Amino acid sequence: MKKWLYLAALLPLAWACGTSEAPAPCGAVPSPYQWEWQKMETNLFLHFGPNTFTSKEWGNGQESEDVFQPTALDCRQWVAVAKAAGFKGVIITAKHHDGFCLWPNPESTHTVAQSSWRDGKGDVLRELSDACREAGLKFGVYVSPWDRNHPSYGTPEYNQVFVRTLEHIYANYGEIFEQWFDGACGEGPNGKRQVYDWPLFNGTVFREQPQAIIFSDAGPGCRWVGNEEGHAGRTNWSTVNVDELFPGVPNKNDFLNEGLKGGTDWAAAETDVSIRPGWFWRPSETPQVKSVEKLLQIWYESVGRNSLMLLNIPPDNRGLIDPVDSARVIAFREALDQILATDLAAGAKVKASATRGRAFSAAKMLDGDENHYWATPDGVTEASFVVTLPEERTFNRVMLQEYIPLGQRVESFCIDVPDGDGWKEIAAETTIGYKRIVPLPTTTASRIRVRIASALACPTISAFALYMDPILTLN
Ligand code: FUL
């Protein structure tokens, strides 16, 4: 064959392979730190302080420093529980609303240094940050701007005190992966409220700990999910308009729960929830530690709805995690691991209605590489794929992931299974995001179809899996 004829014969093939160019980013995208943070999925929240000893939720700041008296503090035990439960990071109340500091903060006279505990030499942040680093867990801090103890609270000087407080932590306890700011702004000891200087506070974090994700109602790193019961919205966009929000913003809980399609800023939702009714440990609540079933449900409705699960397990008045709580959270993780151990889509073949090119084929969703994804040609925002299993299998959860470094795109999708010669719809949902797990009626099938009904730009789907959860079933 003549050379040109040979080349001409190859042309249609080259055309069929489509483009090897990745889609352009769509709208706001996560920073590399936000992308890494999202992949942590489950983290441990620790509420610990004078309230642990007084059985209060909000101390008034007048508690004697000597109230803080853990008899057997062991932060390595907390970290061991976190590890066993599969958490990737911990966040502790370095300072809650009562103003008591778990480290010797030179900006305050209401700290561990003024307590008779360990003759004023104790330092919970030191022990915990060391234990985290030893175990390979990330370390984060909750520092409440509301301070019911500090004499300067309610005056402009307090904003400077608060910044120096942050700086002291940042200079002494290593890398912080998340800075937790709650929006509470009540009265201080002189009856005044503070006008918080958020640009100053955030600027301090950006300067001293640039990798830290700043949590608040308004982000900018991640946003509150809008409730403390443990559920993100079924629709959950990781984007919002940060300018329209501020920490403590009223009447926005539903909005925070769902985010804003096409919002100008990336601030994914974090779901903070306690394993107990309260945030601090109190013995009377031990019988109400959440069940494995409840924790699984929270996981599905947070991690499975494009959010992070920040589970609070408050240490007790000995300074240890209560054995009831640790046994429960470890049992939860074991149950979850067992459900996720078998991907029932293993060995499947997948065929899409449209593909951008070989580098973005539907098979990329099943190859286990988080940087590989199926994508359609630009402008194709309605598309489907059919997964053909090696044989009939029984499942009740579908897991989908979008390749979020290029933005969140899918705004509605459906799941179908074969019905006679056609298909039957068994689920209709909205967003996907980093991870979406859709509960299904228990279904036995050898084929399953996912139909993307609408998207902000060509979909980029990086993972598809099927699971069978024998504990939480729809039918
Ligand atoms: C809120 C606080 O008022 C609660 O005490 C708790 O710390 C919760 C996580 O955040 O803003």
Q: What is the pLDDT of residue 20?
A: 86
CA distance 331 to 47: 22
C-alpha of residue 302 to centroid of ligand 1, in Å: 18
- Give the residue-averaged pLDDT of 210-219: 97
Give the domain 349-467 fold. Jelly Rolls (2.60.120)
pLDDT tens-digit series, residues 246-259: 999 999 999 999 99
Q: Is the pLDDT of residue 12 over 70?
A: no
Determine the atom of ligand 1 nearest the C-alpha atom of 274: 9
Q: Are strands 349-352 and 89-95 parallel, antiparallel or unpaired?
A: unpaired
Q: Where are the alpha helices (DSSP H) in 149-242?
A: 156-172, 198-208
Nearest CA to ligand 1 atom 4: 279
- Give the residue-averaged pLDDT of 407-417: 98
Q: What is the pLDDT of residue 19?
A: 77
Q: What is the pLDDT of residue 3?
A: 47
- Give the residue-averaged pLDDT of 415-431: 98
**Residue 286: which of 319, 327, 228 has the closest Cα?**
327
Determine the atom of ligand 1 nearest the C-alpha atom of 47: 7
pTM metric for this prediction: 0.96
Q: Is the pLDDT of residue 439 over 70?
A: yes
C-alpha of residue 390 to centroid of ligand 1, in Å: 49
Q: What percent of the chain has pLDDT over 90?
A: 95
Assign 448 to helix, strand or coil. Answer: strand
Is the N-terminal amide bond of 314 cis, ω within 30° of 0?
A: no
CB neighbour list of residue 4: distance below 8 Å, 6 or more residues apart: none
Which regions of the chain carry the CATH code 3.20.20.80? 32-340
Task: Select from 279, 281, 309, 313 the residue to mutate for testing ligand 1; criterion: most ligand atoms less than 8 Å from CB.
Answer: 279
CA distance 255 to 233: 9
Q: What is the pLDDT of residue 475?
A: 81
Query: Using CB atoms within 10 A of its CB, is residue 63 exposed (0-12), middle (13-18) or buried (19+)?
Result: buried
CA distance 451 to 461: 12
Give the type of residue at 236: N
Task: Select from 97, 141, 178, 182 the residue to mutate for testing ligand 1; criterion: most ligand atoms less than 8 Å from CB.
Answer: 182
Q: Is the pLDDT of residue 5 over 50?
A: no
Q: Is the pLDDT of residue 10 over 50?
A: no
Q: What is the pLDDT of residue 17?
A: 55
Q: Is the pLDDT of residue 15 over 90?
A: no
C-alpha of residue 22 to centroid of ligand 1, in Å: 42
**Residue 398: which of 367, 362, 427, 364 has the closest Cα?**
427
C-alpha of residue 466 to centroid of ligand 1, in Å: 36
C-alpha of residue 304 to centroid of ligand 1, in Å: 24
CA distance 335 to 399: 17
Determine the atom of ligand 1 nearest the C-alpha atom of 142: 7
pLDDT tens-digit series, residues 292-323: 999 999 999 999 999 999 999 999 999 999 99
Contact between 357 and 376 (Cβ < 8 Å): no
Q: How many CA atoms lie within 13 A of 444 on its CB side?
A: 2
C-alpha of residue 279 to centroid of ligand 1, in Å: 7
- Give the residue-averaged pLDDT of 328-332: 98
Please give all residues whose beta carbon lies within 6 A of any atom in ligand 1, as ranges: 57, 182, 184, 272, 279
CA distance 309 to 246: 22
Is the Cα torsion angle 280, 282, 288, 289 positive or negative in sign? positive
**Residue 266: which of 303, 238, 243, 247 has the closest Cα?**
238
Which regions of the chain carry the CATH code 2.60.120.260? 349-467
Superfamily holding 32-340: Glycosidases (3.20.20.80)
Determine the atom of ligand 1 nearest the C-alpha atom of 183: 11
Q: Are strands 436-455 and 410-419 parallel, antiparallel or unpaired?
A: antiparallel
- Give the residue-averaged pLDDT of 425-444: 98
Q: DSSP secondary structure string, 28-84?
A: S---HHHHHHHTT-EEEEE--STHHHHT-SS--S-S-GGG---SS--HHHHHHHHHH
Determine the atom of ligand 1 nearest the C-alpha atom of 312: 9
Q: What is the pLDDT of residue 219?
A: 96
Q: How many C-beta neighbours within 10 Å does residue 61 have?
A: 20
C-alpha of residue 82 to centroid of ligand 1, in Å: 21
Give the type of residue at 316: D
C-alpha of residue 182 to centroid of ligand 1, in Å: 7
Extended strands (E) in 181-307: 213-216, 222-224, 239-240, 265-266, 268-274
pLDDT tens-digit series, residues 136-147: 999 999 999 999
CA distance 368 to 370: 6
Determine the atom of ligand 1 nearest the C-alpha atom of 93: 7
Task: Tell me what the pLDDT averaged over the chain comes to.
Answer: 96
> Which region, left, alpha or beta, applies to residue 142 given φ > 0 means left and ψ of -120 to 50 means alpha?
beta
C-alpha of residue 47 to centroid of ligand 1, in Å: 9
- Give the residue-averaged pLDDT of 66-72: 98
Alpha carbon separation from 72 to 77, 284, 363, 377 (Å, rounded): 10, 20, 53, 61
Residues in the chain: 475
Tokens linked to 424: 């039957």
How many angstroms from the chain centroid is the CA of residue 128? 21
- Give the residue-averaged pLDDT of 211-235: 98
Whose tokens are 């890494």? That residue is: 36
The lowest-confidence range among 248-252, 347-351, 427-431, 447-451 is 248-252
Nearest CA to ligand 1 atom 11: 182
Determine the atom of ligand 1 nearest the C-alpha atom of 57: 5
Nearest CA to ligand 1 atom 10: 182
pLDDT tens-digit series, residues 333-378: 999 999 999 999 999 999 999 999 999 999 999 999 999 999 999 9
C-alpha of residue 65 to centroid of ligand 1, in Å: 21
Assign 142 to helix, strand or coil. Answer: strand
Q: Is the pLDDT of residue 148 over 60?
A: yes
Determine the atom of ligand 1 nearest the C-alpha atom of 272: 9
Nearest CA to ligand 1 atom 3: 184
Tokens linked to 14: 């080259």
pLDDT tens-digit series, residues 268-285: 999 999 999 999 999 999
pLDDT tens-digit series, residues 159-201: 999 999 999 999 999 999 999 999 999 999 999 999 999 999 9
Rg over CA atoms, the chain: 25
CA distance 432 to 237: 8
Q: What percent of the chain has pLDDT over 70?
A: 96
Q: What is the pLDDT of residue 373?
A: 98
